[in-house]
Amino acid sequence: DTGVSQNPRHKITKRGQNVTFRCDPISEHNRLYWYRQTLGQGPEFLTYFQNEAQLEKSRLLSDRFSAERPKGSFSTLEIQRTEQGDSAMYLCASSLVQGRTEAFFGQGTRLTVV
């Protein structure tokens, strides 16, 4: 399968714990995006990478959130000191730099903070 892969699919954690999610984009895609989606809502943009450079970070993203894409391939999203309000689906997407701009999404990681 050469689509976008996210791990884990589900994560349950206690409030205050740190969690890390991984995204493996489509191999030839330079752009990688992280979104958060809560029930009944559309995705909210969190951050964007072009290759290994993090070019934009949403104002919604508190200092507890950090994302990396060390070699311009896979990316990780870490949430420190999780809060119940962090419970959501975290979606990763990738796309090509040039040409068509549709994004290809992974299946998401559903985070539940208890």
Partner 1 sequence: SQQGEEDPQALSIQEGENATMNCSYKTSINNLQWYRQNSGRGLVHLILIRSNEREKHSGRLRVTLDTSKKSSSLLITASRAADTASYFCATGLMDSNYQLIWGAGTKLIIKP
CB of 67 to partner 1, least distance (A): 14
Residues in 34-63 at the binding interface with partner 1, rule: CB under 8 A = 40-45, 48, 50, 55-56
> What is the full DSSP assignment across 67-91?
EE-TTSS-EEEEE-S--GGG-EEEE
Q: Is 1 in the site for partner 1 (CB under 8 A)?
A: no
- Closest by Cα among 88, 90, 78, 72 to 6: 90
Q: Which residues bind partner 1 (CB under 8 A)?
A: 4, 6, 31, 33, 40-45, 48, 50, 55-56, 89, 91, 93, 100-108, 110
